C-alpha cells in the first residue's frame, strides 16, 4: 500500500536560464526544489507572492509519498502516475533522497484524489 499525504499549498514551477540567478526570495519559502542542468534551472515552490518576469506554470497541488523510500524499491512512481495517466491527468514529479512528490494541476487535484481512492494500492491520508 502506498500512502500519499496531500500538500496544503498551491505551487508554481519556474524555468530560468542555465546562468540566470535564483531569486533569493525562494530560499524564504516553506518548500522549494531547485534543479540545475546545462540547459535550464527549474524551481518548484510555494513562494508568495509569485515571482514576476520569470517563465512560470502556476496552480499546481501536490502529494507527498508518506515514509522514507529505499532506493531498492521499484515502480513506486509508476504505481502512482499510471492511474493519473489513464485518466489524462498530467504530473510533475520531484524525487528527493527520502521520498517522492507528485504534483497535478489544481483543477485536477480532486479528480486525482478520487482516482487514488478507486485503486486498491494507494491510500490518500
| Count of alpha carbons within 13 angstroms of residue 22, beta-carbon side | 17
- Computed over every residue of the chain, the mean pLDDT equals 93
pLDDT of residue 68: 78
pLDDT score of 71:
66
Straight-line distance from the first to the last Cα atom of the chain, in angstroms, rounded to the nearest whole number: 12
pLDDT at 46 over 70: yes
Can you list the domains of the chain with their CATH numbers? 2-124 (3.30.2130.10)
CA distances for 31 relative to 23, 35, 50, 57, 115, angstroms: 14, 14, 14, 16, 26
Can you give the pLDDT at residue 50? 85
Nearest alpha carbon to residue 108 among 124, 85, 125:
85
- What is the per-residue pLDDT for 10? 97
Amino acid at each position: 500500500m502506498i500512502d500519499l499525504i496531500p500538500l496544503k499549498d498551491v505551487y508554481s514551477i519556474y524555468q530560468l536560464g542555465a546562468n540566470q540567478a535564483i531569486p533569493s526570495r525562494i530560499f524564504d519559502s516553506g518548500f522549494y526544489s531547485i534543479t540545475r542542468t546545462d540547459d535550464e534551472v527549474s524551481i518548484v515552490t510555494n513562494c508568495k507572492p509569485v515571482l514576476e518576469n520569470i517563465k512560470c506554470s502556476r496552480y499546481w497541488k501536490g502529494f507527498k509519498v508518506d515514509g522514507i523510500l529505499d532506493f531498492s524499491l521499484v515502480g513506486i512512481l509508476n504505481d502512482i502516475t499510471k492511474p493519473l495517466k489513464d485518466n489524462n491527468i498530467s504530473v510533475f514529479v520531484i524525487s528527493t533522497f527520502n521520498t517522492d512528490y507528485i504534483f497535478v494541476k489544481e483543477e485536477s487535484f480532486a479528480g486525482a484524489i478520487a482516482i487514488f481512492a478507486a485503486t486498491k494500492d494507494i491510500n490518500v491520508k
